[in-house]
Chains A and B, each alone.
Chain A
């Protein structure tokens, strides 16, 4: 089973190649600024971001191929905006299935539907569905365009020695072991992280007993590109089910099983087939992938251990309902890349990295909280919990509050950071984007009369500290190394449809300071030069 036919459309096997580092030993070993471990979506994206900022990166992976099965499928607007900055957003969107509408059913009837991006004027949709191996293949292609990244397949880390100013890694290869040094090691090596074991960190949390069956099936059928979720459907009585479209006429089906179901029996195609035939109402499909899983919600206490920094599933794990696994890992990568770059360039003190732990561990808590609540709603633990859920589902038919309490997965949105890097508002704001939140997109018009999205204007400036300035007469004089996006005024971008001003609650003289990851650090109405300077110093960890 599980030998995907679709997967053969992308390059997925990569050869081991000997590196000159393997001939160096003792005091002669090579030292690098950053070594990233794990060439999954998180490690690849992090390496690209660092390379684009001018860092040399060694990226190690213990396999010689891209992971099998479709695994993650939903990539969020925030992840697409990050990938736009890495130069691969468009390729992902072109291949992916764009969606924003979800429907929730109870029994045979629809309870309600929701739209995750009900407004116009955003470059990217709420979500695309894309098999993880496509995402990884496109990221690997992008890595190939960046000479600063040295991607080494079949390089397995077997030893870690932490020193004061670096970490020494022992790496095993088909031709034997070798050692390299790194100022920083970033472990993106997944839920079963080897590096996490090497630093001796706990990975505590909650284990869920419920079993879910995932099947990716190929069929050409007229179904809307929406996320459909059922409680107690006629084809799967008493349990929940999820149906979701992927590229290449592949459909993701997720079925909740009984707690005592026998995994081996349940996975047999002859047992899965009738269930899915009942769900689809026909038998005209082929299996691409079947797997059975249980899940856990847990995280590391500290994401930074000496010279080793943890990101993605290595640092935190959530249940799959809500698309919070891969997307939160990508948010880790974009949060860490610019900080690591500044620290390595000695533009900021090493203490800036602590804000990565503060911001992303709070985000992990939020993701774990949301996905645990969804899971508890889908699989009530006691009879009374089941009774309360039944009450919510029955009230949802008639009442708005009941609909809002039905929890079939709360889909990933970027966290708002309560961060030491943010400067608190001191002016009056009615809405807009608060410090700690990720920038809102909006369409603008260039002096040449073309549409340019704000997120693109930000990437074009190099994803650096950027002043987003709603111009009045006098332009703000930016501090050194800070980009400016000027909206209004001579030669600036024009907010022709008024969306930027509305989304940022802006009037002439309003200024936002954006961090290099596109989050808002501070905002002011008619600030002085020194006020902006102080906010910048704080956001860079230099205060």
Chain B
């Protein structure tokens, strides 16, 4: 199975909101802890190493591009 980047939620705003609200009122440290646990729970739910690796590659590439753009703007 390949990583799905289609929109899978009927109401994507609800999903985004759920994650945002989970972090409300947390310190940066607590937020980071929450994300770490969430990543592991979701990775296990997916249960496919290929999909996980694709997701990691996508996230990493976007992260690098975003931080490059930020540097150029400064």
Contacting residues of chain A (371-421) with chain B, CB-CB under 8 angstroms = 384, 387-388, 390-392, 394-395, 399, 401-402, 405
Please measure, in the bound complex, the distance between the C-alpha atom of A42 and the C-alpha atom of B29, giving whole angstroms: 49
Could you tell me if A401 and B44 are in contact, using CB atoms closer than 8 angstroms?
Answer: yes
Contacting residues of chain B (19-37) with chain A, CB-CB under 8 angstroms = 32-33, 36-37
Please measure, in the bound complex, the distance between the C-alpha atom of A395 and the C-alpha atom of B33, giving whole angstroms: 12
CB distance from A461 to the nearest CB of B (A): 42
Could you tell me if B36 and A405 are in contact, using CB atoms closer than 8 angstroms?
Answer: no
Could you tell me if A395 and B32 are in contact, using CB atoms closer than 8 angstroms?
Answer: no
CB distance from A335 to the nearest CB of B (A): 30
Could you tell me if A387 and B44 are in contact, using CB atoms closer than 8 angstroms?
Answer: no
CB distance from B52 to the nearest CB of A (A): 13
**Chain A residues near B40 (CB-CB < 8 A):** 388, 391-392, 395, 401-402, 405
User: Across the two chains, which residue of chain B brings its CB closest to A389?
Assistant: B36
**Chain A residues near B66 (CB-CB < 8 A):** none
**Chain A residues near B44 (CB-CB < 8 A):** 401
B15 at the interface (CB under 8 A from A): no
B49 at the interface (CB under 8 A from A): no
Give the number of chain A interface residues (Cβ < 8 Å).
12
Please measure, in the bound complex, the distance between the C-alpha atom of A401 and the C-alpha atom of B41, giving whole angstroms: 8
How many A-B residue pairs have C-beta atoms within 8 angstroms? Tell me.
Answer: 25
**Chain B residues near A402 (CB-CB < 8 A):** 40
**Chain A residues near B39 (CB-CB < 8 A):** 388, 391
**Chain A residues near B41 (CB-CB < 8 A):** 395, 399
Please measure, in the bound complex, the distance between the C-alpha atom of A401 and the C-alpha atom of B36, giving whole angstroms: 15
**Chain B residues near A401 (CB-CB < 8 A):** 40, 44
Please measure, in the bound complex, the distance between the C-alpha atom of A165 and the C-alpha atom of B37, giving whole angstroms: 61
Please measure, in the bound complex, the distance between the C-alpha atom of A399 and the C-alpha atom of B41, giving whole angstroms: 10
Please measure, in the bound complex, the distance between the C-alpha atom of A399 and the C-alpha atom of B33, giving whole angstroms: 17
CB distance from B2 to the nearest CB of A (A): 23
**Chain A residues near B33 (CB-CB < 8 A):** 387, 390-391
Please measure, in the bound complex, the distance between the C-alpha atom of A405 and the C-alpha atom of B39, giving whole angstroms: 13
CB distance from B44 to the nearest CB of A (A): 4
**Chain A residues near B32 (CB-CB < 8 A):** 384, 387
CB distance from B4 to the nearest CB of A (A): 21
CB distance from A382 to the nearest CB of B (A): 12
CB distance from B18 to the nearest CB of A (A): 19
User: Across the two chains, which residue of chain A brings its CB closest to B44?
Assistant: A401
CB distance from A406 to the nearest CB of B (A): 12
Please measure, in the bound complex, the distance between the C-alpha atom of A402 and the C-alpha atom of B37, giving whole angstroms: 10
**Chain B residues near A388 (CB-CB < 8 A):** 36, 39-40
Contacting residues of chain A (184-222) with chain B, CB-CB under 8 angstroms = none
**Chain B residues near A392 (CB-CB < 8 A):** 40
**Chain B residues near A387 (CB-CB < 8 A):** 32-33, 36
CB distance from B53 to the nearest CB of A (A): 16
Please measure, in the bound complex, the distance between the C-alpha atom of A70 and the C-alpha atom of B48, giving whole angstroms: 42
Please measure, in the bound complex, the distance between the C-alpha atom of A384 and the C-alpha atom of B39, giving whole angstroms: 13
User: Across the two chains, which residue of chain A brings its CB closest to B47?
Assistant: A401
**Chain B residues near A395 (CB-CB < 8 A):** 37, 40-41
**Chain B residues near A399 (CB-CB < 8 A):** 41
CB distance from B20 to the nearest CB of A (A): 20
**Chain A residues near B37 (CB-CB < 8 A):** 391, 394-395
User: Across the two chains, which residue of chain A brings its CB closest to B34?
Assistant: A391
Please measure, in the bound complex, the distance between the C-alpha atom of A394 and the C-alpha atom of B40, giving whole angstroms: 11
User: Across the two chains, which residue of chain B brings its CB closest to A387?
Assistant: B36
Please measure, in the bound complex, the distance between the C-alpha atom of A384 and the C-alpha atom of B37, giving whole angstroms: 12
**Chain B residues near A384 (CB-CB < 8 A):** 32, 36
Q: Of B32, B36, B44, which is in contact with the most chain A CB atoms at under 10 Å from its CB?
A: B36
A interface residue numbers (CB < 8 A to B): 384, 387-388, 390-392, 394-395, 399, 401-402, 405
B interface residue numbers (CB < 8 A to A): 32-33, 36-37, 39-41, 44
Q: A384-B32, A391-B39, A395-B37 are in contact. List 13 more A-B contacts (CB 8 A).
A: A384-B36, A387-B36, A388-B36, A388-B39, A390-B33, A390-B36, A391-B33, A391-B36, A391-B40, A392-B40, A395-B40, A395-B41, A399-B41
18 A-B pairs with CB atoms under 8 Å apart are A384-B32, A387-B32, A387-B33, A388-B36, A388-B39, A388-B40, A390-B33, A390-B36, A391-B33, A391-B36, A391-B37, A391-B39, A395-B40, A395-B41, A401-B40, A401-B44, A402-B40, A405-B40
